[in-house]
A and B are shown apart, each in its own frame.
Chain A
Amino acid sequence: MLQLGVAEPMRECEYSQISTRSSTPMETPYKKRTPKKRKWQAFPGRNKFYCNGRIMMARQTGVFYLTLVLILITSGLFFTFDCPFLSVQLTPAIPVIGGVLFVFVLGTLFRTSFSDPGVLPRATPDEAADLERQIDVANGSSSGYRPPPRTKEVVINGQTVKLKYCFTCKIFRPPRASHCSLCDNCVERFDHHCPWVGNCVGKRNYRFFYMFILSLSFLTIFIFAFVITHVILRSHRQGFLNTLKDTPASVLEVVVCFFSVWSIVGLSGFHTYLISSNQTTNEDIKGSWSSKRGKDNYNPYSHGNIFTNCCAALCGPLPPSLIDRRGFVQSDTPQPTPPTNGITMYGSTQSQSHMAAATPLMQSEPVILTDEASLPGRTSLGGPCSGALPLGGQPTPPTSTPNLSCDNGMLPTRNDHSEAHHHMDGVHHHFLTPEEAPSPPGMLPCGSPLGHSHTIQGFYNPASQDSLHEDSVRGLVKLSSV
């Protein structure tokens, strides 16, 4: 009965002969035994995967291991040298609390470092072609030089937000998303790229990152306070010099904690402010929602009150990963038919591991990669937290990006010229971004390429307001000079 009911409507549209048999794997048991690739093996971004796709990190993980080593050594020394004395003299609760904090710190660190920050998968060839077509129609462009940068405006809760087109991922970035040049991925609700955790901080791991720096602040202060207590108590009995001879490790711990406290506590304070106002580091630094930009400028994403913002950021629903890392790569090859009734045709979709060659745009991708490789300085620009700045993002050629432009009019024209120059060369748009990255107009008041720390400081000053802000900003500057 069901058969009949289902077969009837199908006769209205007749399809070409369908053979369901040949596609079942059971029919071809011993043919084409090509091992199936997992999607993480064909992932186009610059990420490293471990444990068969379960763990995902950025390419440069050296600083992450440094973080881990610092935490392990300092805590290890604390538990070995200071805790025995303190648990006897004061209370055994000290090593217990210390232990809990330590476990929490490591747990949140691993969770931040190993999880997908919210990477947006790149557009399939069909999608990219469709978007291209729409943009061409909108621009009414003819062949020749490339049309102007692609942006789409959308009104969100009363504020006009510009959505930029990402040339690498071939999508219009959702609001608050940004492209991380270090990882070569668009990340949702991009906060910054943190080398200390060896990963981007985005929508999916922001709460873990926050809990990591918060718990690390507590741990650092905790260790600092109790090591000092230990040294003082011992000095009462034995004298200072003897104490130093007995527990030389304490000196090391104090030094490490002293320097860490400033940056980490400052960073925690900064992120507490960001969470309560529902902003990302990216937005805060660009001053996207600052009232200085205009009278009616406000943050359209804020829920209105601090409590809701905090709850939403920390306890809200955790979105799933959009990149299916452990799934298997399918080789999808549908047969296109010749165009009929003027319906646009799409090239046959290749397997996801080969996203090239379906559109002319993509053919230039291999060229881009080699070119970026030849500019090693660019990718490691500003090292840590460069992703925090629009530097790290992939700005579209800034002819129409108000948040990047300076007040002085000279810079936009300079960029226009460079853009036209690139157009004339027939060079892919993407080439602009490594060029633009070191000296986007908003960053450099005088428009000349400066050293990393200069660049960043030159930009930070307008952004920092209260002292808390400044402390954390200095912390970021310090991090960037690493």
Chain B
Amino acid sequence: MSLEEWTHSLQDMRQQAAIAAKVFIQRDYTNGTVCQFQTKFPSELETRIDKQQFEETVRTLNNLYAEAEKLGGSSYLEGCLACLTAYTIFLCMETHYEKVLKKIAKFIQEQNDKIYAPRGLLLTDPIERGLRVVEVTIFEDRSLGR
């Protein structure tokens, strides 16, 4: 089975395997309205994954979102250029934010494949939940000796 097929079967698993619980990582608003998620390690995941690992994932996600919303020379340039072309430029080009969102989707896919799926967990891309939460699905663990 190729990696893609295995990942797809993972998604299918979501619908067919038993879901034991779902944990929701809420947004962290202490820096304002920028998209950041709380890095606090939820207790339900204690038996499944290493705290460091999890916090690292969330921290990287936060950094990626910060990059998307960063105010700087390049974002201003993009904004001005868009205004001058009456926003028609976005018919051919992606906004910076969209590019970073694609990066984030890839990152989450990668994390799922390498770290979370082997432990019976599945991260859902926050954009599918309106950037409100990071949904972690915990699958039932039926292996022997657990």
Contacts and interface: CB of A to CB of B under 8 A. Distances in A.
Contact of A317 (B70, B130, B138): B70
Interface in A137-191: 154-157, 161, 163, 171-172, 174-176, 188-189
B78 interface: yes
Interface in B97-146: 97-98, 101, 117-120, 127, 129-133, 135, 138-144, 146
Nearest to A186: B130
Given A14-B143, A315-B80, A334-B19, A154 B29 contact: yes
Q: Which residue of B1, B19, B95, B98 has the most chain A CB atoms within 10 A of its CB atom? A: B19
A175 B119 CA distance: 35
Interface in A10-41: 10-16, 18-20, 23
B79 A316 contact: yes
Given A120-B132, A316-B79, A332 B19 contact: no
Given A318-B95, A319-B97, A343 B21 contact: yes
A301 B97 contact: no
A111 B118 contact: no
A15 B95 contact: no
A242 interface: no
A323 B33 CA distance: 18
A319 B87 CA distance: 14
A345 B20 CA distance: 7
Contacts of B5: 20
A346 B139 contact: no
Q: Which residue of A14, A111, A131 has the most chain B CB atoms within 10 A of its CB atom? A: A14
Interface in A331-353: 332-337, 340, 343-346
Q: Chain A interface residue count: which class? A: 35 or more
B33 A175 contact: yes
Contacts of A189: 33
B75 interface: yes
Given A126-B22, A176-B33, A111 B87 contact: yes
A225 to B, nearest CB: 25
Interface of A: 2-3, 6, 9-16, 18-20, 23, 104, 107, 111, 120-121, 123-124, 126-127, 130-131, 154-157, 161, 163, 171-172, 174-176, 188-189, 211, 300-301, 303, 308, 311-312, 314-320, 322-323, 332-337, 340, 343-346
Given A315-B76, A315-B79, 6 more contacts: A14-B141, A18-B12, A121-B130, A156-B30, A316-B69, A334-B15
10 contacts: A2-B3, A15-B120, A15-B140, A154-B29, A163-B29, A308-B71, A318-B97, A320-B101, A322-B127, A323-B130
